[in-house]
Amino acid sequence: MAGVLEGLRVLDFGRYIAGPYCTTMLGFLGAEVIRIEKRAGGEDRFVYPLFYEEDGSEGSGSMFNQVGVNKKSVTLNPASPEGREIVKKLVATADVVVANLPAPSMKFLGLDYESLCAIKPDIIQTSISTFGPEGPYAERPGFDGIGQVMSGAAWFSGTTDGGPVKGNAPYIDFGTAISSAFGTLAAIMHHRATGEGQEVGGALLRTGLTFANSLLMEQAVTQINREPSGNRGQTSAPCDIFPTTDGHVLTHIVGGGLYKRWAIMIGEEEQWMNDDRFQSDQSRGDHRDIICQRMADWCATRTTTEVIDLCAQFSVPAGPVLTPQQTLEDPQVAAMGDLHSIDIPGAAESAPIMGPPFKLSKTPGTVRHRAPLLGEHTDEVLGAIGYSATELDALRKQQAI
């Protein structure tokens, strides 16, 4: 089945996650995505290596193999005169250009919107940065963690005695990638309706502010100055991670109906439902330590499986805290069918790579092929825009590709 973006050409100048996964989302929907990278390969190819080469160097990494699916790889030196000419010819054939590079680098490489429009007036340019193009921090570099700590999220997830906590899962990077892909799709729709291109801007801090907006809004209006509470929720209870006899579980109770089912489950409905301190979500959140201690005591005498089964019986939301290996073995993960077993050249085992984080009943996103080897499609792509085999050999000798 053809993807909804089949026939769309995307040039991916991204690195690591925010830029590359934005184009991965477009690739899931059928777009032709061409990753442009330096001749030696980007450092992002080797994060979490899946194997090691015979000389001990790091092989292809899991992060790249996730964000690189469905893509082609072209190597070139865009700073060389020959490389710049190749970029211009590629841009002339493209519909979308995506990059998460600092603004000065974008300008130097001719990837800024003005330069791209001079080549192709209806181009869509998606640029992703840490702080956006305005403000005192506009030209500062950054990664996922910057968005976490500057949005207030890392502070709020910490504890008063243990300090702030940054999440190891790069949710700011992936959130920025997905929102940038959403914006790019809107720009594609506009182009199809009008023939006009436009700029699309994503920023890590903007994503962080979006995710933390309710906390920021409450602070601005009420000056409440909440203190961090780690895993424990503050606007309802019991919401926390609780130890069991053989692991941990998380429960998240919101709303009077769920709270009542929780009270029935632990066998103390009258006590917890009739106490004036626990009559709303916020009042339960204000007295969370009392409620969470009761839940902690209840979980402490049961196995993880017993807690999860009882919560399911009473329709109380709960989930086990899984190790990565346990996640891979979980029957629900298997039933969802979102992990695709892909052979990676050099790796001893196939890798479970996530498909699109959404489902479409008529035009599903697909994983069509593995991430590309370095420069695997250079000759194919450049040959299609007019470079002969002789010219490609000359460009290699000039270290332009």
Instruction: Answer whether 296's CB lies under 8 Å from 243's CB.
Output: yes
Output the CA torsion 120→123→129→132 (10° steps): 100
Exposure b/e, 20-35, CB count within 10 A at least 16 = b:
bbbbbbbbbbbbbbbb
pLDDT of the residue at 58:
94
Residues 25, 186: Cα–Cα separation, whole Å:
13
Low-confidence ranges of the chain (pLDDT < 50): none
Among 77, 81, 90, 76, smallest CA distance to 33 is for 90
Q: What is the pLDDT of residue 2?
A: 75
CA dihedral angle for residue 189, residue 193, residue 197, residue 198, rounded to 10 degrees:
-60
Which position has the token pair 């061409």? 34
**pLDDT reported for residue 1:** 64
Q: What is the distance between the alpha carbons of residues 197 and 74, in angstroms, rounded to a whole number?
A: 24
Whether the Cβ atoms of residue 233 and residue 240 lie closer than 8 Å to each other: yes
What pTM value is reported for the model? 0.95
pLDDT of residue 312: 98
pLDDT for res 123: 98
What is the tens place of the pLDDT at every residue in 161-178? 999 999 999 999 999 999
pLDDT of residue 57: 93
Please give the C-alpha separations between residue 264 and each of 288, 313, 339, in angstroms, as whole numbers. Answer: 18, 11, 37
Domains of the chain (ranges, CATH numbers): 9-211+336-397 (3.40.50.10540), 239-243+248-320 (3.30.1540.10)
